[in-house]
Amino acid sequence: MKNIQILMISRGLEPCRTWAAFLARRGWNVTLCHSAGELRQAAACGSLNLILMEEPMAGELPAGPCKSGAKAAAVIMFAGPEALSGKKIVEHLNCGFDDVIGADIDPRILEAKLRVNLRWALPAAARTLEEVRSRSGRIRVNKSRRMVSLKKNGGFLEVPGLTRIQLEILALLVGREGAVVERRFIVETVWRDKEVNFQNVDKHVELLRAKLGYFGGNIETVYGAGYRYREDK
């Protein structure tokens, strides 16, 4: 997701801070803005932008010019429930906004909507979000198809029997290849709202290593911290 930037523009910056914290934990690149000038400056730094705009900013930054000027794949408006009458939603969509959401939306639903808008606007870019590869390309984790492929003997072999938890842990580690991923971060990202102890994480990692065979040795334990995926040992 490094080449895709989420720009959130709001004068009050709430609920953007909550959304930004959640999306950052999920691996998204998020920038908070509170003016049109900040938005334009931030947009110049990213190759592709998804914009979340608070309803009062619409008069200052109409959807069409905002989309073209900020290299945006989609511009999504958010507002409080009192501002989201059916008539208002229709008006905003007719003015060029790609979606309209409530400011009280669950962050998980927001992330799903971001992916949907990206699929509509740029299918090729959206597909890159679904697959994580190691730098060498020898391991591929396809999150939407729940499939892991390992390069062996000139081809790729699928790894059978991985659970959703194991696949998401592997995607986290491979996506941050070379960096230490803390156990707490794994719990918050993979299990989300559930209370899970670190021993549960360790158990899943051990099972994951066994299922990956030779490649399982690339998952290193960093004692007192977490785990790291590294091929160049």
CB 8 within 8 A of CB 31: yes
Whether the upstream peptide bond of residue 15 has omega within 30° of 0, thus cis, is: yes
Ramachandran area for residue 146 (φ above 0: left; ψ -120 to 50: alpha; else beta): left
**Range(s) of the chain covered by CATH 1.10.10.10:** 134-229
Instruction: Specify the CATH number for 4-128; select among 3.40.50.300, 3.40.50.2300, 3.40.50.720, 3.30.450.20.
Output: 3.40.50.2300
Is the distance from CB of 125 to CB of 46 less than 8 angstroms?
A: no
Specify the CATH number for 134-229; select among 3.40.50.1100, 1.10.10.10, 1.10.443.10, 3.40.50.300: 1.10.10.10
Token pair for 180: 């230490």
Residue by residue, pLDDT tens for the chain (233 residues) are: 556 788 888 877 678 888 988 888 777 888 888 777 787 777 776 566 788 888 877 766 656 656 556 567 788 889 887 778 888 888 888 888 889 999 889 988 998 888 888 777 665 554 555 678 888 889 998 877 788 999 888 888 899 999 989 998 998 899 888 889 899 888 888 887 678 889 999 999 999 999 999 899 999 999 989 999 998 75
End-to-end CA distance of the chain: 26
Separation of alpha carbons 25 and 21, rounded Å: 6
Indicate where the chain has its CATH 3.40.50.2300 domain(s). Answer: 4-128
